[in-house]
Structures are given as structure tokens and as C-alpha cells.
Homo-oligomer: A and B are copies of this chain.
Amino acid sequence: MAVIDKFLDGDRRSLAKIITHVENRADNYREVLARLYPRTGKTYKIGFTGPPGAGKSSLVDLVANQLLEDGEMVSIIAVDPSSPFTGGALLGDRIRMARLSNHRNVYIRSMATRGSGGGLASATKDICVVLDSFGFDKVLVETVGVGQVELDIVDTADTVVVVLVPESGDTIQAMKAGLMEIADVFCLNKSDREGADRLAAELEMMLDIRRHGSEWHYPVVQTSALKGWGVDKLQEQIAAHQTYLKESGKFEKRRRRQVKREIYQHLQDMLLDEARNRIGGDATVEKIVDEIAEGSSDPYTEAERIFREHFT
């Protein structure tokens, strides 16, 4: 494929084409990924999550700007599992581009599509492979929402930053959403607002237990993306976590776990496609649904029958 050769030469338009190709799961996308894979392993992935309205996008842009000033090549993936718009969130991406200082070394991509739940997490991982092989130093993955898929998406990052704001209410609510368990670094954004100190104190108290016996100190950084302060401290802590992961050997362990998950994920996708083909597509399934609606069968028996007939 000529596009891949151009891509390997560092051509930006080919990068966008290949990402679209992979995101759409176009015919030979696994071959494309297999071809790029040997070039990966250098990109460091930072995930940002937290409740809607916490100012994640502004914060990610500020962090990206700092990295760009340090001479790094940076990519931002903004994942919105609930939005039907994918790739083409152009206006939003352009507004963001304008906030970033060095256009040449940054690449922004919006991902979305409601309903493809698990698929979205695996597409994000695959796109990270593409960006890694292209030579980006850092990929910042940002998610909207605080649900399970969002957690799965940022969970594939090397360092996970959880962004909270005074208005996000009780820390208990953040805990409930599972954010506390996946956070490596806490960021209290909008810290110029009332209630910030109380939230910080609450967090520190909760983290006491978690820090006990842990080699990592789970830092809490106060920022104001609006006023531009605290971002340098945030970046320091992200870098500290990166160092910690590498020195403790946890980095390698995390990566191995990810590879295992990827193998199973791709296998599962292929198996379901194969099943659809062997059955004879949706038309056959519609007939089965008729039978179930008439009360002469049930979904479990039918799934088992298909499995036995076609896979044993």
C-alpha cells in the first residue's frame, strides 16, 4: 500500500488516512496494524478523565503546549463515547488547534460513535499503535463522561490523570464512579473557586489509606486551566509517575497485560464476524427471532444451537 510507505516517510495526510482506515475497521486494517507494530514502543500514553465540565480539554491543551515547547511530538485523542460524530468533529478540533502553539508537532483526533461501546476502547488502542509507529513522543487520551467504557479507555494509558473540580460534589461521588481506583495523579482543576481547599483536604484524607504501603505517592495537584496556573506542577507529577513505572518494572507488566487483552479482543471480533457469515447473516437471525417471539424457543437455546451446529 502506497499510503503506508508515505506514512512511514512521515507524511501527515497519510497518517490521517491510516487512522480513519483503522477506526472504520476497513478490510485489511489488521494487516496494516501488523505492519506498523514493529515500530512501536516509544510513545508514552497519558489518560485524562473526570466528570463532564471539569475543564479536561483546556487542561489537556495546556499540557500539550508545555510538551510542545519542550520539543516533543504530541497527539491528542478526544474520545466521546456518547457522540454520534467521529473523525469529523472538525470545528471543535480547529478551535483546539488554534490554542496550540506549534501546529507542526501536534495532531488532534476526535473519536466517537454511540453504541459501539467496547469497540471504541479497542479502536482507541489501535489508533495509539498508529500514532506510536508514526513517532509521537506523547499521546494524550481524553474522555468525556465517567462510565465504564471511559474507564476502560483511559485504563490503557500509562499514567491516568483524574480531573476533579470543587463543583463536582462529594469525593464520594468520584469514588463511586470508580475514578479513585484508576487514578495515578489527581488534578483539582478550577482551584481558584470556592470549595477547592476542602476537596483537596478530603482527597488527601482518602488517599492516606491508598498511599500506605505503596511505593507511589498518588499526588494531588491544584490547577486552574483558565488562569493557566499549576500546569507545570501537573506535568512534573506525570513525569514522576513515568519514572516510577519504568524503575519499578511496572511499566513492562502493564504493557504485557495490554498485549494479552489485545489478542483476545481481536480474536473475539473475528469470531463474531465468522459466526455471522456461517449463520447466513441477519436474515437467518430474524427468522430465529420470529420463533422465539412465537414462544417456541428462547435466545439461550438458539445461541447454543448455532454454536454447536457451526463451531463444533
Contacts and interface: CB of A to CB of B under 8 A. Distances in A.
Interface of A: 30-31, 33-34, 37-38, 51-53, 80-83, 114, 117-118, 120, 144-152, 167, 169-170, 173, 176-179, 181, 252, 255-256, 259-260, 262-268, 270-272, 274-275, 282, 285-286, 288-289, 292-293, 295, 298-304, 306-307, 311
Nearest to A31: B300
A176 B83 contact: yes
A65 to B, nearest CB: 24
Given A118-B118, A152-B117, A145 B263 contact: no
Interface of A, secondary structure class, is helix
Nearest to A303: B266
A173 B82 CA distance: 11
Copies per assembly? 2
Given A150-B147, A293-B256, A82 B285 contact: no
A254 to B, nearest CB: 12
B268 A268 contact: yes
A150 to B, nearest CB: 5
A41 to B, nearest CB: 8
Contact of A178 (B37, B82, B262): B82
